[in-house]
Every structure is written in C-alpha cells, then in structure tokens.
Amino acid sequence: MTGTGIDMNRPEARAVAAPATYHPATSSARATVDRFQPYVLSILRIMAGLLFCEHGTAKLFGFPPHGAIPAFGELEWFAGTIEFTGGALVALGLFTRPAAFIMSGEMAIGYFLFHAPKSFFPLLSGGEAAVLYCFVFLYLVFAGAGPLSVDALLWGNRSPDGAKRNPGSA
C-alpha cells in the first residue's frame, strides 16, 4: 500500500496463517465415515433400484395396483419395461452403469414430457421423484455399483471393458 507508510511487499509485513489444529476425534469420525462410504453407495443403489423396479411392476403386472396396465408397445409399457428391468439390474448391481444411464435418460424424458409442461417447479408439477431418480441414476453412472454388487463379484476392480477402476468402486 502506498501513502500509508506501510509497505505490504516487505516479508515481515505478510500475514502468517495460524497452524491447523489437529483434532483426533474429528479425524477418527471422518475416517469411520470414509470407510463406510462405498457400502452406503451400495445401499443407495439397492434402494433406488428396488423402488424403481416397483414402478415397473405396477405398470407391467398391476402390482402394487396403480392404474391400468398399458398395452404392449405403448409408451408407458416401454417405461414400465425399463423401470422393471433396469431397477432389477441396478438393485442387483449388474451392468449398473449402462442400466443407470438408460434409466436416468428415461426420467429426464418423462419429466420433460409429462411434468415440465404443467409447471416450471417440480413440486407443483409432481415431478420431484422424476428429477431425483434422474440425478441419482446419473450419479450411479459415474460412481458405479459399489462393493456389494454382482459387478464387483464378476469384475472385481475392473470394469466389463477391462479398464482399471478406483479401489472401492464397482
């Protein structure tokens, strides 16, 4: 700074950051949380897959009862097929990334075809579940299935295409 009599370019005038304080309890808690992260990813995948599969069973088989069963070839029949098959695959952790990619796309299309025309806001258009499923499945495309999956059993630390993965992801 000029004109104030203080020269900020002098080494002795520079601010010195205080050393970080080590908190063993915080570090231990973080290590515990970090250790469970891959398993919680697997639990998220399993629950999202099962809930999504339920939408498919309702559309294709009428269980649980939820409206009329669509005829073969109708748009809702295709949606039910993706939901049932993809939901089962994701719940099992088998071909998780491609299945999640397709299901994420289905939810994006479903949102823009049926919910967005009603209102810009998902809460008002009834599209919050579609948006949430879309982004959970998009996350699974990049995160993988986790250690509690058929993918992990079949390919271990390798993807089906042979590429090496980070430890703890499947």
Give tens-digit pLDDT for 31-71.
Answer: 889 999 999 999 999 999 999 999 999 999 999 998 899 99
Specify the pLDDT at position 118.
97
- The residues facing 158 across adjacent strands are 164
Is 6 among the domain residues?
Answer: no
Q: Structural domain tally of the chain?
A: 1
Q: Quote the pTM value.
A: 0.77
Specify the pLDDT at position 22.
56
Segments of the chain scoring below 50 in pLDDT: 1, 8, 168-170
Is 1 among the domain residues?
Answer: no
Is 69 among the domain residues?
Answer: yes
Specify the pLDDT at position 170.
46
Are the C-beta atoms of residues 78 and 102 closer than 8 Å to each other? no
Domain that holds residue 110: 26-155
Please identify which residue in the block is written with the tokens 């009599």.
5
Is 21 among the domain residues?
Answer: no
Is 167 among the domain residues?
Answer: no
Q: What is the DSSP letter of 68?
A: P
- Nearest CA to 148 out of 36, 54, 55 is that of 36
Is 8 among the domain residues?
Answer: no
Two tokens, residue 157: 């630390």
